[in-house]
């Protein structure tokens, strides 16, 4: 086949696109998977993550002129994704989710039982849900994204001392949530 019947990559775009816009689009597309994974960990929901990344990509497109250094795109776009996730978490707190089927008490008694692992994972997820948006984001950037304190500070636009303090307090709240799931934040 000569390729005349095949749509070129990006043919869905309407009208002419400048080289700068095309370059920006490539940057966004190249970072979508990582942004989605980051949002999924922060939000705890694949559907919410997909919506958040879509919103973040649109916001990035609208504010693309604010990107001064294309080499810093990943940090810039991650910051937009994190802020979008923060907004979603805050709105979620205003509209609490009620669990329809409460989890049954743990039936596993043997060490190494897969049910115990699932129970532990679920307890951690519930404790993580109790954290504030800022605590969740800081923990995810540190322990999931494996960013340094300085990188987190840069992406969140806060001093590194604040990152250290947030990490300390977030871990303490997470531990408290694991001990007592009814801990009120």
The model's confidence at residue 182, banded by pLDDT at 50, 70 and 90, is low
Contacts of 139 (CB under 8 A, 6+ apart): 128, 131, 167, 170, 171, 174
> What is the per-residue pLDDT for 123?
87
**Rg over CA atoms, the chain:** 20
pLDDT digits (tens, 9 = 90+) for 45-92: 889 999 999 999 999 989 888 888 878 888 899 999 999 999 998 887
Contact indicator for 171, 139 with CB cutoff of 8 Å: yes
- pLDDT value for 4: 34
What is the average pLDDT value for the chain, to the nearest integer? 78
Whether 169 contacts 179, CB under 8 Å: no
Residue 12 pLDDT greater than 90, yes or no: no
Hey, where are the domains in the chain? Answer: 1-100, 101-185
What is the CATH T-level fold of the domain 1-100, as seen in this structure? Rna Polymerase Sigma Factor; Chain: A (1.10.1740)
Which pTM was predicted? 0.58
Whether CATH 3.40.50.300 fits 101-185: no
Give the mean model confidence (pLDDT) for residues 161-185. Answer: 83
Which pLDDT does position 8 carry in this prediction?
39
CB 34 within 8 A of CB 144: no
Q: Which of 69, 38, 44 is nearest to 57 (CA)?
A: 38
């Amino acid at each position: 086949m000569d390729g005349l019947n095949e749509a070129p990559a990006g043919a869905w775009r309407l009208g002419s696109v400048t080289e700068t816009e095309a370059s920006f689009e490539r940057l966004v597309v190249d970072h979508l998977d990582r942004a989605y994974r980051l949002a999924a960990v922060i939000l705890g929901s694949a559907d919410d993550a997909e919506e958040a990344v879509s919103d973040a990509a649109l916001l990035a497109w609208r504010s693309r002129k604010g990107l001064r250094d294309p080499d810093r795109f990943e940090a810039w776009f991650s910051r937009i994704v994190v802020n979008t996730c923060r907004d979603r978490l805050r709105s979620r707190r205003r509209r609490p989710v009620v669990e329809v089927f409460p989890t049954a008490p743990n039936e596993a008694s043997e060490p190494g039982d897969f049910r115990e692992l699932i129970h532990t994972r679920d307890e951690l997820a519930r404790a993580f849900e109790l954290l504030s948006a800022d605590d969740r984001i800081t923990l995810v950037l540190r322990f999931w994204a494996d960013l340094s304190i300085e990188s987190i500070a840069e992406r969140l636009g806060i001093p590194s001392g604040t990152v250290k303090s947030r990490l300390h307090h977030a871990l303490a709240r997470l531990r408290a949530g694991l001990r007592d799931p009814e801990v009120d934040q």
